[in-house]
Amino acid sequence: MAHIDSDLTILALDTCTESCSAALLHNQDLHCRSANAPREHSQRLLPMVDEVLKEANIKIADVNLIAYGRGPGSFTGIRICTSMTQGLALGHDIPVIGISTLAAMAQMVIDTDSAKQVFVAIDARMNEIYWGQFTNSDGIATLVGEEHVSTPEQVNILLDTEQTITLCGTGFDAYPDLLSNLDSTQMSDIKLPDAKAMLTLAQLGYKQGLSTPVDELAPVYLCDTVTWKKLPGRE
């Protein structure tokens, strides 16, 4: 994990994909739990939170900031993450900060592989992917352009194709030909986000003044309008 000097105690939560994870940074020590447990997020997340808090010997009231996976991802997963964040933060007036699922994955690749450029793609079902492009800016995943939901054919590369682009995410399992036309790519083993990668981004975001009171929590449902259009009678 990239290091940013901070005395903050940060709790990070993510349930936006098949993976469920919780991570705690306290006194610069990392405590984390994760499980690939589709459809069990609502049962798994709070016990994970309890475990990392007990491991650090602190209570939720000692947390300075809660980082939550704000999406993109599954509608149900995002709802679980945001509602549990609200429940934990409200009682103790803890500020919150939303972290992009795609950015967290790019940060994981940068932390593990020192990648300079990262393309993240998550399978969004219905022949679509959530995708984003990131560069390594002093060890921090930095978004290039915008995050998108689209068909694989609609992907538009903004990264430097003359330099190596590291690929990660379940989108490449679902669509093996995605970006196969590029010569300078390498595949990461990272398929899904983990809350521990959100801690670096949360520290930086807090320093930049991006945290908010919990009642301003803002999940990101990239495919709202797309899904709506696909409902019967809404094409």
Mean pLDDT, residues 176-186: 95
Q: With beta carbons less than 8 A apart as the criterion, state whether 21 and 76 touch.
A: no
Nearest to 198 by CA among 120, 98, 114, 110: 98
b (16+ CB within 10 A) / e for 55-69: ebebeeeebbbbbbb
Residues 6+ apart with CB under 8 A from 73: 16, 17, 101, 122, 130
Domain-located, residue 5: no
Q: Could you read off the pLDDT of 71-89 as tens digits, one per residue?
A: 999 989 999 999 999 999 9
Amino acid at 50: D
Amino acid at 91: G
* CATH assignment at residue 138: 3.30.420.40
Q: Which of 73-77, 177-181, 216-220, 224-228 has the lowest mean pLDDT?
A: 224-228
Domain residues for the domain of 90 are 10-101+193-230
Instruction: Kindly state whether residues 198 and 182 are assigned to the same domain.
Output: no
Q: Please give the helix or strand (H or E) that residue 101 lies within, else none.
A: helix 101-113
pLDDT at 229: 37
HSE-up (13 A, CA, CB side) for residue 179: 28
pLDDT at 6: 65
Q: Which residue has the tokens 């490449």?
A: 172
